[in-house]
Amino acid sequence: MALFEYSGLTDAGKTVRGIKEADSPKTLRAALRKDGVFLTDVNASSKQLEAEAASRDVKLVGGRITSEDVAIMTRQLATLIGAGIPLVEALTALVDQVEKPRLKKILSQVKQRVNEGAALADALADHPRIFSALFINMIRAGEHSGALDVVLIRLADFTESQSRLRSKLFGTMMYPALMSIVGISIIGVLFVVVIPKVTKIFDDMQATLPLNTRILIGISNFARNYWYLAIGGFFLFAWSSWRFVKTPRGRAWFDRTQLRLPILGPLVRMLAVSRFTKTLATLLKSGVPLLAAMDIVKNVVTNTVLAGVIETARDAIREGESIAAPLKRSGEFPPLVYHMIAIGERSGQLEDMLQNVSQSYDQQVETRISALTSLLEPVMIVMMGGVVAFVVFSILMPIMQMNTFVGQ
């Protein structure tokens, strides 16, 4: 969330000014309207602007900070604090230990703020691009409960597990992406360079060429003469799709479509459910209140359809309902999830049940990814083989017809 300086008018016409935290000016306007204040002017607060400026300056120093860097830093800080070292001294040691200049500068700023009397969570909140709302809220809960070292260890475990999952997904998609690029390049060279030279032998033929040969020659001529239109059209389509997905309506359509896809849909749902249950379990174990945890989890789940279900569940919980009931009504969460959550709520072991669900879905995701990886290779080979077979058949057919005609 960002801090905003605002001014507005009350129902009585009195001018009020203040600073409030909100996701966006639109959210701030809605929150103030509930309080009977009509917003007239809003700006990012000086504190927020200073933090953003510091973040931009830090970008110029060192490389990108990865989730692995944050996980290692978190585990080191947990070790130092667990050994009884005061927080400021632990941060000083951490600054000396970290190698990346950008992360070193950020930690120096955090240490300075803590040394001035700020809470660690508030100091980390000045760098939202590095430390997520999940991270900050868990740190805040650890500070309030006096178990900061335990919370830091949980955070490190959580960050490392998420990083491993992302790396696995990235590594899995690299092979088919590389194969696609190589395959498209080969087919492009085939249609632009090779086929036009081979099909020149058909220019002097008086006989009508087969349909598939005419299609092949037409595609080849288009690729050779209007290749720039094909490339431009592809990039225009990609850019238009990207812009559409950035809109609320486009994002909702894209997320719904993702969940309905025959093979990828279940995998996307499993990933979202795993992230939801693991994050919620980690937050609850760290002492974060349930409603606050649901707010954080809603932002962690990137699919807007499932995020909307979580938001509805949060409102239902606020009204005294259980977590499992709204998840079941939505029809978007698998039965295993809301049954396990219901058991956990009744037995008082909700965190453990959520952790079990997360582990179960993590295993299913790994199994599905391995199956998809092993399936993609033969499918792509068959597709490329089909294109090559079409080209060869389209070229050989008229040649065989011509030989038959000459033989007669």
- Rounded-to-integer distance, Cα 236 and Cα 89, Å: 54
* CATH fold of 156-408: Receptor-associated Protein (1.20.81)
Give the CATH class of 52-131: mainly alpha
Mean pLDDT of the chain: 79
Q: Which of 248, 287, 249, 256 is nearest to 272 (CA)?
A: 256
- What is the band of 47 on the pLDDT scale with cuts at 50, 70, 90? very low
Given a cut of 60, whether residue 48 has pLDDT beyond it is no
Whether the CB-CB separation of 371 and 363 falls below 8 Å is answered with no
For position 50, what pLDDT does the model report? 44
Domains 52-131 and 156-408 alike in fold: yes
DSSP 267-312: HHHHHHHHHHHHHHHHHHHTT--HHHHHHHHHHH---HHHHHHHHH
Whether the CB-CB separation of 105 and 62 falls below 8 Å is answered with yes
| Higher-scoring residue by pLDDT: 386, 369 | 386
- Rounded-to-integer distance, Cα 70 and Cα 11, Å: 47
CB atoms within 10 A of CB 39: 18
Given a cut of 70, whether residue 374 has pLDDT beyond it is yes
For position 239, what pLDDT does the model report? 93
Least confident of 188-192, 316-320, 403-407: 403-407
- Rounded-to-integer distance, Cα 328 and Cα 110, Å: 43
Whether the CB-CB separation of 113 and 90 falls below 8 Å is answered with no
Q: What is the pTM of this model?
A: 0.61
Given a cut of 60, whether residue 3 has pLDDT beyond it is no
User: What integer is the mean pLDDT of 335-356?
Assistant: 88
> For the segment 279-302, what is each residue's pLDDT rounded down to a tens digit?
888 878 877 788 888 887 887 777
For position 53, what pLDDT does the model report? 42
User: What integer is the mean pLDDT of 301-322?
Assistant: 87
Least confident of 47-56, 136-145, 194-203: 47-56
Joined together, the tokens standing for residue 48 give 């927020």
- Rounded-to-integer distance, Cα 399 and Cα 210, Å: 11
> For the segment 94-125, what is each residue's pLDDT rounded down to a tens digit?
888 887 888 888 888 888 888 888 888 888 88
Domains in the chain: boundaries: 2-44, 52-131, 156-408
- Rounded-to-integer distance, Cα 237 and Cα 232, Å: 8
For position 405, what pLDDT does the model report? 54
Given a cut of 50, whether residue 59 has pLDDT beyond it is no
For position 60, what pLDDT does the model report? 36
Least confident of 33-37, 157-161, 381-385, 401-405: 401-405
